[in-house]
Amino acid sequence: ILRNTVSKTYNRISDLRKEIQTLRKSIQVAKEASAKAIKELEEAKSILEIVEGQPVSSERPGRLRRLQGFADKAKEEEVTIEESLEAKQALLARGLEEGKELLRLLFKSFVDVLTERLPPVSADGDVPNLRAGDPNVTFPASDPEAATMEIDDENGADNNSQVNGENMKAGYTIGELEQWCLCTLGYLKSFSRQYATEIWSHIGMLDEEVFVGSIHPLIRKAAFSGLCRQMNQ
């Protein structure tokens, strides 16, 4: 759900940036047109002649009204575009804040769910190899009662049952849980690569709130790999 929301938010941000770029070009054209119309009007008003000893405009009243109308319309167009630009910029600012919060929530969700399921680092500091199929790798235990209920519901067996010769833990076989962790880590890496530009703009916040403390090295490795970031950065 968060991934879809992030996608929609950044698609909207991309559209807003394009619209703002177009409006900036339009407002420049509108300013030039307005300035030209006002200049023509002022020039027409400045042409004077002496009538009965008094200076009066020598331009026809009908033309002056048309020039005034052109100037008013050009100025109105300029103001309308400026207001539209301001509105789009406000939407963009709000979208960027929403995107920042969504990235924080999504990365924290990745960290929380993976931390619950990844095997811990050994006492010697060795990072578990999920692809090796090491029988000594142990995964975090879940609530036994919840695990039993899940297995009973899905397989009609108790928590000590076996599937295809593999021991069940927390509703998964060992092989299934390893595969789930690998897939989810790959998903984290893929997401980090896809939104690298947006993520880098908020990397300070993520370093302070997500990539801190005793975060599992496999989580850090997946995210940093997608960002093309060194582990010691």
Q: Summarize pLDDT for 115-159 with one digit per residue, the tens.
A: 999 988 887 778 888 876 555 555 555 444 333 333 334 344 444
Q: How far apart are CA 21 and CA 42, in angstroms?
A: 32
User: Per-residue pLDDT averaged across 214-229, rounded?
Assistant: 92
Q: How far apart are CA 21 and CA 76, in angstroms?
A: 20
For the cut 60, the answer to whether the pLDDT of residue 52 exceeds it is no
CB 3 within 8 A of CB 191: yes
> Residue 49 burial (CB < 10 Å; 0-12/13-18/19+)?
exposed
| Residue-level pLDDT at 122 | 81
The residue whose two tokens read 């940036």 is 17
Output 203 or 53, whichever has higher pLDDT.
203
The CA radius of gyration of the chain, in Å to the nearest whole number, is: 33
- 163 phi and psi, to 5 degrees? -125, 120
Domain boundaries, the chain: 1-48+61-102
Q: Output the pTM of the full model.
A: 0.64
**Measured between alpha carbons, how far is residue 188 from residues 47, 103, 129, 222 in Å?**
72, 12, 17, 6
Instruction: Report residue 67's pLDDT band, with 50, 70 and 90 as the boundaries.
Output: confident
